[in-house]
Structure 1
Amino acid sequence: MDFLKMMKQAKQMQEQMGTLQEAVNELSVEGSAGAGMVNVTLNGKGEMTGLKIDPSLVKADEVEILEDLILAAHNDAKAKGEALVQEKTRDLMAGMGLPAGMKLPF
């Protein structure tokens, strides 16, 4: 393989990685808990961008239940986001002809 061809492929891969990172940053995933009484929205970086709580859960004597549901909804959204990122990464790697087990830098 000649050097120029290798450099061109490396540049293409770098551009595709940038495209993947942009797509990941634009992701929005929602997790829920308590039969939908708590919903959390995360972006592709795992940052919380939204939180919805059913008003019936806001009771002074049930704060621990509410805290548990928020944590569960966050973990649900995080797991969904990670699965979506893995799927997009696999799709990109398949398109570049890279081995399925190759780890990408994020």
Structure 2
Amino acid sequence: MTDFRKILDKAKELESKMKESQQKIKSIRAEGVSGSNSVKVTLDGEGEMQKIEISDDILNEKKAIIEDLIIAAHNNAKIQLKSKTTEEISKATSDLGIPGFKWPL
């Protein structure tokens, strides 16, 4: 019976830590860049684009080049976001004995 109680306590602790992590993740910001910082994209913790900055220097480039730079900056921001959210979840689960837990993104 004690083992079952320990499992329930761990589950409650995990639930609490996960809720806390979810709140922290919502406040995360990840910035992706491309073209030597010509394009910067900022995503929030839920993956929504919050900001895009395009340098005046590239506005004379072909449309296709600018589009490619925007895509590259967005993809870079997604990588940064995945890393930050995985790190946050790892903090919450590391002391609970759940090795290798990864946030599904």
Residue type at the aligned position of 2:11: A
1:88 alignment partner AA: E
Runs of 4+ in 1 over 6 A off after TM superposition: none
Pick closer, same or farther for the CA change 1:104–1:29 going to 2, 3 Å.
closer
Deviations along 1:9-68, one digit per CA (max 9) or x if unpaired, are: 221111101011111111001000010010000011111000000112223x61111100
Letter aligned with residue 76 of structure 1: N
Aligned counterparts, 1:47-58, within 5 A: 47-58=48-59
The one-letter code sitting in structure 1 at the alignment partner of 2:82 is: E
CA distance in 2, matches of 1:33, 1:44: 20
Question: Residue 15 of structure 1 aligns to which amino acid in structure 2?
Answer: S
Partner of 1:16, secondary structure, is helix
Distance 1:44 1:65 in 2: 28
**Would you say the 8 A contact 2:28–2:45 is kept in 1?**
yes
What stretches of structure 1 of length at least 5 have no aligned partner? none
Q: CA deviation at 1:104?
A: 5.7
What residue in structure 2 maps to residue 101 of structure 1?
100
Structure 1: how far apart are the matches of 2:62 and 2:104? 42
Q: Is the 8 A contact 2:41 2:74 kept in 1?
A: yes
Percent identical across equivalent pairs? 34
Q: Which residue of 1 aligns with 2:64?
A: 64
Distance 1:79 1:103, change over 3 A: closer
| Residue 80 of structure 1: aligned partner | 80
Cα RMSD (Å) of the superposition?
1.9
- Between the two proteins, the alignment pairs up a number of residues equal to 104
